[in-house]
A = this chain, B = another copy of it.
Amino acid sequence: MFEVAQLGMKLSDKVYKEREKALRERLLALQFQLQSAKFSVVVVFAGVNAAGKSEMINQLNAWMDPRWLETHAYGAATEETRQRPPYWHYWRDLPAKGRMGLFLSSWYSQPVLDKVYARIDDASYQTSLMQIANFERALSDDGTLVLKFWMHLDRKAQKKRMNQLEKDPLTAWRVTDKDWENYHHYDDFIRAAETALHKTGTGQAPWLIVEGEDENYRSITVGEALADALEKQLQRQQYADKRHAESSVRLLTTQDVADNAPPAPSVHPLLASVDLTQSITPVEYKDQLAKLQARLGLLMQQAQDVGMTNVIVFEGWDAAGKGSAIRRITQALDARQFVVHPIAAPSDEELAHHYLWRFWRRLPRAGKVAIFDRSWYGRVLVERVEGFASESAWMRAYAEISDFEDELAAHGIVVTKFWLNISPEEQLRRFDERANVPWKQFKLTDDDWRNREKRPLYEQAVADMIERTSTHFAPWTLIAAEDKRFARIQILKTLIARLEEAFAQRDAV
């Protein structure tokens, strides 16, 4: 597939100068338009050593306004990154809407090199590539323009370039022993690259192969391709905005369907399966609580010692008792080990990114415990029901969320998710109670009453969520929360079981 990049393409200095001038003005103008657009641009540079990847990045920085460009290059993993799943630093570095990020030695480097040096087998390599494709799809689905340039040199040209670089004292530092070692694996590298380009070159995130030998040619080729893609995306967005303005009523589909649908059954069967009559006596509760908290505290201590991270998600009806259940967990832990993240409306920085960005940002270090009071599931609950997310956005979120949790689990993070279920009658009782206790009033908002009226819609959303995102690596546990004490005991028991299971698996390995 690289034959096209071995044609010896060249541009004379004269032609280059002419085209460069026009290109620069065009790029600057597009970059300015981008600033007020509602998408970001991710540009990946990969390819053969010495084919001009970093020169190209410098060139783009020189052509464009560096204030709206971000360059990210990744070296060896640091302490900070090793403690999180591999994609953590890429997510963290994603540009906000209106900005462009240039990525060098990105998510492609590790898998390709692992394959070249036979550190992973074929199946693992395919899995890594699929993960890349999923990651890039999540970005482009969110509106991000994803562009990928493969800078190419044939074996002979690479050797020539490396020799040239080595001879010049100003550039000699750029050719390392490792580079020569890679050079001797040229054929393996090309084979691995071919697979990577095949598996990850999609309509939404295409690869462009660029011949790297002639600097003039490669600069203009990359620059013009970038300008074309950016222009097209800006036009697409303008068109979409226009269409959206003309038919904004369409956004209400979920609501419309619901209004016209036959009356929903009073309780969705999945939720009806939770026996809400279960309870526990106060005496029994007190006794069990102390024992379970002691056990949980000890297990979490051990988890900290071995660097086993815990992510705990709480979702549930308003007033279902999430906050007080969380307190029963944190009471058992050392305050230095955990952090509780109450998830409310996103900040403006968060709104300018993919909706999962704010959760990637909050991933704990190895051995720590992150408790989410509401979570990324807002996408398929409140955002779905209230129409804040489009139908296609929340529909694809199930897969995006499972991918996300899969990455956590693959890194050894124990993910535990709770849905706290209560009946509408019990909810009403608790609302009334809150309304009557002065220092509990703040807990009750107009939203709470409004959400109550939409219970059937929410029940459907909850059932879909549990069905589609309960996986062996991140299972949902439905908690009967009509009796608060019973719920807390169940939650502690579930967490303990998850941890014991994780330790057993760890020992078995």
* Residues on A facing B (Cβ under 8 Å): 25, 28-29, 32, 35, 54, 57-58, 60-62, 65-71, 73, 78-80, 102, 104, 170, 298, 323, 326-327, 330-331, 334-336, 338-342, 347-349, 373, 439, 442
Once the chains bind, are B70 and A336 in contact (CB under 8 Å)? no
Q: Which residue of B29, B35, B327 contacts A439 across the interface (Cβ within 8 Å)?
A: B29
Measured CA separation A239–B60 after assembly (Å):
55
Residues of B within 8 A of A71 (CB): 335-336, 339
Once the chains bind, are B79 and A342 in contact (CB under 8 Å)? no
Q: Which residue of B58, B70, B342 contacts A334 across the interface (Cβ within 8 Å)?
A: B58
Residues of B within 8 A of A68 (CB): 342
Closest 10 CB pairs of A and B: A67-B342, A71-B335, A29-B439, A73-B336, A61-B335, A66-B340, A57-B335, A66-B330, A67-B340, A62-B331
Once the chains bind, are A334 and B67 in contact (CB under 8 Å)? no
**In the complex, which residue of chain B has the Cβ closest to the Cβ of A343?**
B67
Known: A66-B330, A66-B340, A104-B336. 17 other contacts (CB 8 A): A28-B439, A32-B439, A35-B442, A54-B336, A57-B336, A60-B335, A62-B330, A67-B326, A67-B342, A68-B342, A71-B339, A79-B79, A79-B80, A347-B349, A348-B348, A348-B349, A349-B349
Measured CA separation A485–B464 after assembly (Å):
63
Interface of chain A: mostly helix, strand, loop or mixed = helix
Measured CA separation A439–B28 after assembly (Å):
8
Q: Which residue of B62, B70, B442 contacts A32 across the interface (Cβ within 8 Å)?
A: B442
Once the chains bind, are B79 and A335 in contact (CB under 8 Å)? no
Least distance between A35 CB and chain B CB atoms (Å): 8
Least distance between A46 CB and chain B CB atoms (Å): 15
Residues of B within 8 A of A330 (CB): 61-62, 66
**In the complex, which residue of chain B has the Cβ closest to the Cβ of A80?**
B80
**In the complex, which residue of chain B has the Cβ closest to the Cβ of A83?**
B78
Q: Which residue of B57, B78, B335 contacts A54 across the interface (Cβ within 8 Å)?
A: B335
Residues of B within 8 A of A339 (CB): 70-71
Measured CA separation A70–B334 after assembly (Å):
12
Q: Which residue of B32, B61, B104, B327 contacts A66 across the interface (Cβ within 8 Å)?
A: B327
Measured CA separation A358–B69 after assembly (Å):
19
Least distance between A141 CB and chain B CB atoms (Å): 25
Measured CA separation A68–B443 after assembly (Å):
14
**In the complex, which residue of chain B has the Cβ closest to the Cβ of A337?**
B71
Once the chains bind, are A102 and B29 in contact (CB under 8 Å)? no
Measured CA separation A340–B57 after assembly (Å):
15
Once the chains bind, are B78 and A335 in contact (CB under 8 Å)? no
Least distance between A292 CB and chain B CB atoms (Å): 15
Least distance between A103 CB and chain B CB atoms (Å): 11
Least distance between A64 CB and chain B CB atoms (Å): 9
Measured CA separation A346–B35 after assembly (Å):
16
Known contacts A54-B336, A335-B102, A326 near B78 by CB under 8 Å? no
Least distance between A56 CB and chain B CB atoms (Å): 9
Measured CA separation A57–B333 after assembly (Å):
11
Least distance between A43 CB and chain B CB atoms (Å): 12
Least distance between A336 CB and chain B CB atoms (Å): 4
**In the complex, which residue of chain B has the Cβ closest to the Cβ of A25?**
B439
Least distance between A505 CB and chain B CB atoms (Å): 25
**In the complex, which residue of chain B has the Cβ closest to the Cβ of A75?**
B336
Least distance between A439 CB and chain B CB atoms (Å): 4
Residues of B within 8 A of A347 (CB): 347-349
Residues of B within 8 A of A331 (CB): 61-62
Least distance between A25 CB and chain B CB atoms (Å): 7
Measured CA separation A348–B342 after assembly (Å):
17
Q: Which residue of B29, B66, B348, B349 contacts A326 across the interface (Cβ within 8 Å)?
A: B66
Measured CA separation A60–B439 after assembly (Å):
19
Residues of B within 8 A of A338 (CB): 66
- 26 of the cross-chain contacts (CB-CB < 8 Å) are A29-B439, A54-B334, A57-B335, A57-B336, A58-B334, A58-B335, A61-B330, A61-B331, A61-B335, A62-B327, A65-B323, A66-B326, A67-B323, A67-B340, A67-B342, A67-B373, A69-B340, A70-B339, A71-B336, A73-B336, A104-B336, A170-B298, A347-B347, A347-B348, A348-B348, A349-B349
